[in-house]
Structure 1
């Protein structure tokens, strides 16, 4: 197959490098600019002739401080990149959804490069979606001319585009795996419950998701009120956002997470809301059969919380006083003794809060998703326990996002995503690529992660809760988070205030 791909919207000319075909900066939707700001995604318009697809499209506007190089940001950001083996035909498809707290990230980051998947015979796709205020803030309670879940609608449109066009790039439209990490993994669990995403993919991988980061409109308004106050706007003036300069829109958003944690400890970052696109929390939709035809891998890292609450820098919550306030505000203060019982075994308050954040934010709701999906289709659960040398020296352990480089087989480069593995011996890195990355490759190809592991990764069910542990010596544990799950499973925080 050459580098000319004919989609339903027009022809694209890509690049051929070392047996890999690449198409960069492919538009999958109409630019969400002008009157389409704060509106859901509109289908891409066809073009005449051959469109060059040889360089990355603009990144979405970033709504959080980051140490990474940002590059060119634009509201016109709905682009995707595709990597494929030179002679791909009916090849399995792997679609990556980046993380970044629904506030930062893009598909053009070097550590999301798909070359190594293409070398394994897989067509790899990564796409941008709108972030922060433009993609996930909910203004519908003030003005119904705004749309909710604009970023979610971007993701649905991208998956629809892939389903309809990937055959032109050598991909099999009936063998699509979606995958992501953090907010990207939460997006994956959301897609499992999104009616409009049904049938657009066959398998899913969720690395460290926040499945509970979907709020009601009323709860979302608590955050949006904080944002408007920082912006100096009254609720009746929200229409001004449609024409406001982006720098002004972004500046106020930088304070929202800190202000939210101060006002409502334990509340999630601004993210999706429950509406017609996401009618139920992921595990609730899954239990009703929303993703019956989908196979799932889901898991978390041993020390998720350290990245957020390290060196006294707190995200949510900030300490035991915040925990107590959080429970009082949500009318579940009677849960405090059992929470203390679970975490008082850790000697320092900071470590206790790290564990609370990991369990409440990532682990317990991931188990809820795994329990529900395992009743509908094959499900596998994992925990990533290995702490690379740099992460260990920094007191982070097997922290949030530490596994992404080995899962995607991109371990060399500059930036925080690479720094975790920088001082780790090559043989250790190779082992984790052989284990985790190849499990993802096998899953994308066959629907089973086994094939390269030294021990069998058994399927998950809600009784045994079998969990594969990635470490220097892999192992399997049954129901390793039983006490944690039983403590948190019925505690509802900010579900609708």
Structure 2
């Protein structure tokens, strides 16, 4: 299958069939920017020139993911030449309307991830009439290094600018893959969801998409922040072997020349940082304006939003709680004020810190004290601190400022065999609970995952998730046959916790986390401090 892209050239894809026999067409490894190498390292991406009107690009194979440390092996993988995207389209039947477009941004704490079929295969989504696109963006220091000197033009947002340029490419060219350029939904999970939120607030991304889905992340989650970011470039250079003058210009010259491998192998955060929810030092830097202000003035107030998370997000922190013989729990017991959001910890008086921290500890522990035998309570606390409260603050802001509907879901389907993230992180220690990223296995086919029985609850959940997401992408309303006869209505100021709970059955109910979220809300002195009200 060959598609002609004006101003770029021809691309050759291939016809394929998904694991359940659904036909589709794939075009992989399409460049949307020049390779960000040499002098373009750390900088905003530049538009791809194309490969010539008389040339044909072979798009039948994926390209490398961005340079990163493999979390399983601790080896460095990927390539700096990584700014490529994959397009999967259901059909090219021009007698029918163009297809809704779904563009996915992967997560990985802004330090890992990639547009790979290994994790984000199109098979399940291609059961529906859509176009699915997934693209690479630079991660870790290669995507988010910042230098204070504005004249050096290293703003700390190169990875976000990669995303903007990919969206522009999609907006310009997706019609040639039978996609509707006026019906694009941007969706992402974890750091990908935070990226969606950043795009909703960045003027450069205005009108490049028309609906948004945020899964288990927002830019208000603490792991989108990094303390001491103004000196990170020095730490990075010294760890990579720099011994020259400590000027920004000289350090930048060194960082341009050092191997990419040395730029992603580091660990600058200690356990105290991780108590606050800081996971990785190199994260997006926005212009020096408060995030709540950006949300209030966002161009996306007219964009319908579907957002939510999993019922036990905090399970993702289990390896952290077990590391170093459970040191992080000893630390929280010694310094319980570390449970507070960092923005409050650094501004409250010592007395106020202790008082408000005691409220949080009591909420998650009750009469028990923090200790290594109560790991579930720490994980529950992290569910709120790292994910759910950030999402709830977005809800509260949207209910005041947005003019488009906001829908809330809670993924609560617990499977002994198909909740891959919990199985990977918790093993036999914890065999119940729906972990952060467990929902991805019901949206994307993961390589080596076998065909399920069509009568299995796991297969049923895949059908539900795919139908909900693709229906929302098509219409801006997630109600579909799979959600049942009771209307899933948008959130309102009177019903900010009305959620579709996606478990063994679907149930519209008050969010189970309501009581805990209201305690976290009370940590803030005003609505303005909580959500920019």
TM-score, reference length from structure 2: 0.81
Give the equivalent residue in structure 2 for 1:341: 362
Give the equivalent residue in structure 2 for 1:35: 39
What runs of 5+ residues in structure 2 fail to find an aligned partner?
A: 18-22, 525-529
Give the equivalent residue in structure 2 for 1:133: 141
Q: What aligned pairs does 1:36-115 form with structure 2 within 5 A after superposition?
A: 36-48=40-52, 49-63=55-69, 65-66=71-72, 73-89=78-94, 90-115=98-123
Alpha-carbon shift at residue 425 of structure 1 (Å): 9.4
**Cα deviation per residue 1:456-494 (whole Å; 9 max; x = unaligned)?**
3221123312111111122122254333223323658xx
CA contact (8 A) 1:99 1:183 kept: yes
Structure 1 residues 316 and 173, CA gap change in structure 2 (3 angstroms): farther
Q: What aligned pairs does 1:19-418 form with structure 2 within 5 A after superposition?
A: 19-48=23-52, 49-63=55-69, 65-66=71-72, 73-89=78-94, 90-140=98-148, 144-212=152-220, 213=222, 219-221=228-230, 226-228=235-237, 230-233=239-242, 235-236=246-247, 237-239=250-252, 240-251=254-265, 253=266, 255-256=267-268, 259-262=269-272, 265-268=275-278, 269-276=280-287, 279-281=289-291, 284-310=293-319, 312-313=322-323, 319-321=332-334, 323-325=336-338, 327=340, 330-332=346-348, 333=353, 334-345=355-366, 348-374=373-399, 375-390=402-417, 391=422, 393-395=428-430, 397-408=433-444, 410=445, 413-414=447-448
RMSD: 3.1
Give the equivalent residue in structure 2 for 1:14: 13
Give the Cα separation in 2 of the matches to 1:130 and 1:95: 17
Higher mean Cα deviation, 206-215 or 224-233? 224-233
Q: Secondary structure at the match of 1:285?
A: helix
**Cα deviation per residue 1:287-341 (whole Å; 9 max; x = unaligned)?**
2242122111100111111122246237988633354246595244131121122
Give the Cα separation in 2 of the matches to 1:64 and 1:27: 24
**Cα deviation per residue 1:19-41 (whole Å; 9 max; x = unaligned)?**
42111100001110010001011
Give the Cα separation in 1 of the matches to 2:47 and 2:413: 43
Structure 1 residues 64 and 267, CA gap change in structure 2 (3 angstroms): farther
| 1:453 counterpart = 2:483 | yes
Alpha-carbon shift at residue 58 of structure 1 (Å): 1.5
Alpha-carbon shift at residue 394 of structure 1 (Å): 4.4
Alpha-carbon shift at residue 229 of structure 1 (Å): 5.1
Structure 1 residues 351 and 125, CA gap change in structure 2 (3 angstroms): same
Alpha-carbon shift at residue 399 of structure 1 (Å): 0.4
CA contact (8 A) 1:192 1:198 kept: yes
Alpha-carbon shift at residue 214 of structure 1 (Å): 7.5
Give the Cα separation in 2 of the matches to 1:394 and 1:425: 30
Give the equivalent residue in structure 1 for 2:456: 427
CA contact (8 A) 1:25 1:55 kept: yes
CA contact (8 A) 2:92 2:177 kept: no
What runs of 5+ residues in structure 1 fail to find an aligned partner?
A: none
Structure 1 residues 93 and 222, CA gap change in structure 2 (3 angstroms): same
CA contact (8 A) 1:291 1:373 kept: no
CA contact (8 A) 2:240 2:263 kept: yes
CA contact (8 A) 1:5 1:169 kept: no
Give the Cα separation in 1 of the matches to 2:316 and 2:225: 27
| 1:489 counterpart = 2:521 | yes
Give the Cα separation in 2 of the matches to 1:423 and 1:120: 18
Q: Secondary structure at the match of 2:48?
A: coil
Give the Cα separation in 2 of the matches to 1:430 and 1:346: 41
Alpha-carbon shift at residue 272 of structure 1 (Å): 3.7
